[in-house]
């Protein structure tokens, strides 16, 4: 009896989690007429691809490319800088506890409301001519992604035994060789896990995209999604369709790199 109650509870929880996803898929494949008149029906009575066709007739693929480019660029910059920062903080001694002060400052930046940072950052980007550019947005995203990556990689770097590096140093390997051939491969699962979460942060970011991008051909997906909710109403079909399109790249990425993600978490828990 206890097993049955447990099974029913699990399936009920799964249903509650999946319900919004089922509704999203069902609405995306409904015709405009059925969306307005179907009431609470989750699934379409007849499949319609009109919402996807209207999106593909526009520039949605260009926007997906923009979002991928910016997210990947921000992730690469964040992971490289965070990896070097985490290694330095773990392996070297700093006077007057400067390492702790640095980590505290990074944490404070991460916890600050984004709008507080966005205002001076907007002025700086305007002065250096990086407004309405993909490079400027990649650099702006470091406010979100870099502190997260530093704190996440600290645990992974700490798990690498110092004795392995010392053995490499005794064999004549200098710092760059030890980083490239010892630390980096051992830390690879953690780097992949960190990169996935950093990619998701960049993929879903909205505020900086709204402030720093001005021309529609450079918009990101979250910024484009907001166009379907206006004072005249909500385009539910297109909104659900773009929700599916925007979710697929991250789902494919996480599914493909799942084994590295699990290894990264197990590595960080040791």
Closest C-alpha to 246, from 220, 207, 216: 220
Cα-based angle 124, 126, 127 (whole degrees, multiple of 5): 65
Asked whether the beta carbons of 47 and 30 are under 8 A apart, the reply is no
| Residue 119 CB partners (closer than 8 Å, separation 6+) | none
Helix (H) or strand (E) holding 13: helix 2-28
The string of pLDDT tens digits covering residues 138-161 is: 999 998 899 999 988 988 888 888
CATH number of 52-268: 1.10.3720.10
For the chain, percent of residues with pLDDT exceeding 70: 93
The number of angstroms, rounded, from the C-alpha of 230 to the middle of its chain's C-alpha atoms is 26
With a CB cutoff of 8 Å and minimum separation 6, the contacts of 234 are: 228
CA atoms of 210 and 195, how far apart (whole Å): 24
**Cα–Cα distance measured from residue 104 to residue 86, given in angstroms and rounded to the nearest whole number:** 14
pLDDT at 212: 92
Average pLDDT, the chain: 84
The pLDDT of residue 233 is 73
Q: By three-state DSSP, how is residue 229 classified? A: strand
Residue spans in the chain of domains classed CATH 1.10.3720.10: 52-268
| Residues pairing with 233 in the sheet | 230
Tell me the pLDDT tens digit for each residue of 189-242: 888 889 988 999 999 999 899 999 988 888 999 988 888 877 777 788 888 888
The structure's pTM equals 0.84
Which whole number is the average pLDDT over 15-22?
A: 87
């Amino acid at each position: 009896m206890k097993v049955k109650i447990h099974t029913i509870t699990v399936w009920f929880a799964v249903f509650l989690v999946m319900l919004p996803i089922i509704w999203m898929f069902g609405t995306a494949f409904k015709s405009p007429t059925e969306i307005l008149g179907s009431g609470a029906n989750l699934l379409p009575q007849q499949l319609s691809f009109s919402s996807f066709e209207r999106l593909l007739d526009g520039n949605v693929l260009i926007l997906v490319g923009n979002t991928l480019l910016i997210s990947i660029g921000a992730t690469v910059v964040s992971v490289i800088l965070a990896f070097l920062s985490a290694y330095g903080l773990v392996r070297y001694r700093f006077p007057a506890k400067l390492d702790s002060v640095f980590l505290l400052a990074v944490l404070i930046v991460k916890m600050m409301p984004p709008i507080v940072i966005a205002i001076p950052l907007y002025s700086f980007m305007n002065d250096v001519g990086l407004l309405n550019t993909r490079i400027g947005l990649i650099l702006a995203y470091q406010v979100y992604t870099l502190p997260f990556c530093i704190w996440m990689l600290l645990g992974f770097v700490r798990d690498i035994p110092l004795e392995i590096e010392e053995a490499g140093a005794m064999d004549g390997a200098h710092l760059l060789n030890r980083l490239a051939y010892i630390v980096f491969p051992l830390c690879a699962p953690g780097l992949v896990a960190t990169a996935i979460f950093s990619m998701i942060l960049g993929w879903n970011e909205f505020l900086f995209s709204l402030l720093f991008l001005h021309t529609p051909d450079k918009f990101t997906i979250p910024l484009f999604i907001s166009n379907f909710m206006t004072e005249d109403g909500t385009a539910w079909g297109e909104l659900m369709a773009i929700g599916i399109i925007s979710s697929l790249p991250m789902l494919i990425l996480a599914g493909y790199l799942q084994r590295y993600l699990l290894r990264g978490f197990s590595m960080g828990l040791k």
